[in-house]
Amino acid sequence: MELKRGSSSHSAYHLRPALKEGEERRTLAVLVDNESGVLARVIGLFSGRGYNIESLTVAETDHTGHRSRITVVTTGTPMVLDQIKAQLERMIPVHRVRDLTVEGPSVERELALVKVANAGDLRVEALRIRDAFRAQVVDASLESFVFELTGSPEKIDAFVDLMRPLGLVDVSRTGVAAISRGPGEM
* Closest distance to other proteins from the beta carbon of 185 (Å): 16
Q: Decide: is 90 part of the binding site for other proteins (CB under 8 A).
A: yes
CA-CA distance, 82 to 26, in Å (whole number)? Answer: 11
Count of alpha carbons within 13 Å of 161, Cβ hemisphere only?
Answer: 12
Residue closer to other proteins by CB (options 67, 164) is 67
Residues 132 and 124: beta-carbon distance below 8 Å? no
Three-state SS string across 115-144, please? EEECCCHHHHHHHHHHHHHCCEEEEECCCE
Of these, 12, 18, 79, 132, which contacts other proteins (CB under 8 A)? Answer: 79
**Pairing relation of β-strands 144-151 and 136-140?**
antiparallel
> What residues from 134 to 173 belong to the interface with other proteins (CB under 8 A)?
none
Residues 17 and 66: beta-carbon distance below 8 Å? no
Q: Decide: is 97 part of the binding site for other proteins (CB under 8 A).
A: no
Q: Decide: is 64 part of the binding site for other proteins (CB under 8 A).
A: no
Q: Decide: is 40 part of the binding site for other proteins (CB under 8 A).
A: yes
Q: Which stretch binds other proteins (CB under 8 A): 3-11, 19-27, 29-37, 168-176?
A: 29-37
Q: Decide: is 37 part of the binding site for other proteins (CB under 8 A).
A: yes
Q: Decide: is 23 part of the binding site for other proteins (CB under 8 A).
A: no
Closest Cα to residue 84, out of 95, 73, 68?
Answer: 73
Interface residue list for other proteins (CB under 8 A): 32-33, 36-37, 40-41, 44, 48, 79, 82-83, 86-87, 89-95
